[in-house]
A and B are shown apart, each in its own frame.
Chain A
Amino acid sequence: MISNRQRQFYAFCVAPSLAVLAIITLLPALYLLATSFTPLNLTRPETQWDFSQPLISYGQLLVDDRLANSVWVQIKLSFWTVSLQLLIGLGVALLLNIKSRLLEALRTVFLIPMVLPPIVVAIIWKVIYTPDISPMHGLFKAIGWNVPALITNPDWALTAIIIADTWEWFPFTMLMVLAALQMLPQELLDAAKVDGASPWQLTRHVTLPFIQGVLLVAGLFRLIDSIKAFPLIYILTEGGPGSLTEVTNYYSFLQAFNFSYLGFSSAITVVLLAATIVLSWIIIRSVGWGTKID
């Protein structure tokens, strides 16, 4: 049992953090929500606290074609990046899970894309996608392929972003799967081997079921992060050509900070935030399940 003195001490330790978090996260969230009920336009200051038509921005959400397009772009981007990152990350993790000094050193090398500052990742891919200076385009030209500049080409722009994003984040899945594989009890593998299982059967029936929980959590984290995709899009395509790579987060940024429609942008952002909170809640639930496997 803890005494009153201890309880007081614990409260004294927790209070500053909760107070600061309330001021820096809860208050802004409420401010965002309040702004979403106004038609705030920075060029017209009188719209700041105008609550006469609280749902006007939310009404616009439903009829804005460009927003609908951005949601569709978001779905395509999220689907492809999350699936590719899970597949490639899992593949590389299984490849590196063999006991060897060299492969252990390589694990660290594979982490580099993920730990680079996102803006540096965006610059790296800007170089690769700019035909004048790109080694990739130089190579294509040398073997006689005439490849257009991918990020300005309507057929390829989104794919170019997907490739860059997958490169940046497949190590995340790899790292989580490798961590989970270290918990895999050796007896389980030995027992299956005694029963004559082939390496493929071992992977399919022992390893994969063991790590499916971790894969789910990795996928959820990447899904949330894919909603926040910004530096790659800002640097590589600026949402273009047209609005072919304009995801919802980017569209909200444009509305707020290029067109000054902060009220409308707030409404979009409230919906995005709600989606993130739901996904976070699902993560908390599934992590409880994930730890049972551990």
Chain B
Amino acid sequence: MQALAIVLALLALAPFLWLLVMSFKTNAEIFRFPPRLFFPVTLDNYAALWTSNFRSSFANSLIVSTVSTVVSLVIGVPAAYALSRWTTRSGATITLWILASRMAPPIAFTIPYFLAYRYLELLDTLTGLILIYLTTNLSLVIWMMRPFYDQLPRSLEEAAWIDGATTWQGFTRIILPLSGPGLAATAILCFLFAWNDFFFALILTRTEAMTAPVAVVNFMNYEGWEWGRIAAGGTMIMLPVLVFSFVVRRYLVSGLTGGAIKG
């Protein structure tokens, strides 16, 4: 059984490893079959990325993902806390609204955003991208943090109120410090969503605000098929994702299902 599992794991990993290895090969080596196990390792592909536009696109991706994460947390976390403590009759409607925002096909937002941005002059700007990433990330924050607060007993803040704390202090001094792990996981998932996005950036950016996933695809279309650079760019995009994903792997299920299932 274990041997079977190992074989399957290798099979599942092979396509990913191939791309990783490819990024360290020269073009001649990429086209060689059968491939050599020990080939001369080159960093030329990465050096080429550093001198191309990819560098600024990579920076754009970092800025957009970070800012949209921070904004979503600042607005969303208090809402998640309040929705957990305060049950209203419109709860079911808000639930459906938030889940639908998370599940909607990206094109449903892209068309109106594209039309509106032509007037607001937000096409090809980082601000424009940050705004559209909020559609998913704000819902994600509320969705992931609410069940987390449901698990924290009310007696925690009630004790603080009896000692004379205001509701605001009860939240910032008692509840927030206890939310560390949940906040970290939610922040990482928000960051990854914006980081992984391809569709919004493809349509709403041209050159100035282009993100790394779009830039790497441009190596396919306009500058010929530069496989080495494509592989190196792909590797640069996936490395932060792999590191972060392992940090939050316990929370992956609730992130992907918008909190519908707790992992």
Contacts and interface: CB of A to CB of B under 8 A. Distances in A.
A197 B135 CA distance: 50
B256 A172 contact: yes
A124 B76 contact: no
Interface residues of A, number: 92
Given A117-B213, A138-B33, A280-B103, A92 B8 contact: yes
A284 B99 contact: yes
Main secondary structure of the interface of A (DSSP, over half): helix
A276 to B, nearest CB: 5
Interface string A123-134: 111111000110
Interface residues of B, number: 91
Contacts of A221: 256-257, 260
B5 A112 contact: no
Nearest to B71: A20
A117 B238 contact: yes
Interface in B195-238: 195-196, 198-199, 202-203, 213, 216-217, 220, 227, 230-231, 234, 237-238
B18 A135 contact: yes
A6 interface: yes
Contacts of B19: 120, 123-124, 127
Interface in B3-52: 4-6, 8-9, 12-13, 15-16, 18-19, 22, 30-31, 33-35
Contacts of B256: 172, 221
Given A25-B135, A179-B253, A280-B96, A13 B108 contact: no
B31 A113 contact: no
B78 interface: yes
Given A14-B78, A120-B237, 4 more contacts: A92-B8, A95-B4, A109-B13, A133-B30
B242 interface: yes
Closest 10 CB pairs of A and B: A17-B79, A13-B82, A13-B78, A138-B33, A31-B112, A28-B112, A115-B245, A10-B82, A9-B167, A10-B86
B11 to A, nearest CB: 9
- Between B31, B116, B198, B237, the greatest number of chain A beta carbons within 10 A of the residue's beta carbon is seen for B198
Interface in A275-294: 276-277, 279-281, 283-284, 287, 290
A272 B103 CA distance: 11
Interface of B: 1-2, 4-6, 8-9, 12-13, 15-16, 18-19, 22, 30-31, 33-35, 75-76, 78-79, 81-83, 85-86, 92, 94-101, 103-116, 131-132, 134-135, 138-139, 142, 167-168, 171, 192, 195-196, 198-199, 202-203, 213, 216-217, 220, 227, 230-231, 234, 237-238, 241-242, 245-246, 249, 252-253, 256-257, 260-263
Interface of A: 2, 5-7, 9-11, 13-14, 16-18, 20-21, 24-29, 31-32, 35, 92, 95-96, 98, 100, 102-103, 106, 108-120, 123-128, 132-133, 135, 138, 141-142, 167, 172, 175-176, 179, 214, 217, 221, 224, 227-228, 230-231, 234-235, 249, 252-253, 256-257, 262, 265-266, 269-270, 272-273, 276-277, 279-281, 283-284, 287, 290
Contacts of A29: 108, 112
Contacts of B4: 95
Contacts of B168: 9
Given A24-B135, A118-B196, A167-B12, A265 B111 contact: yes
16 contacts: A17-B75, A25-B109, A95-B4, A112-B12, A112-B13, A120-B237, A123-B19, A138-B34, A141-B33, A142-B33, A221-B260, A270-B108, A276-B100, A280-B96, A284-B92, A284-B99
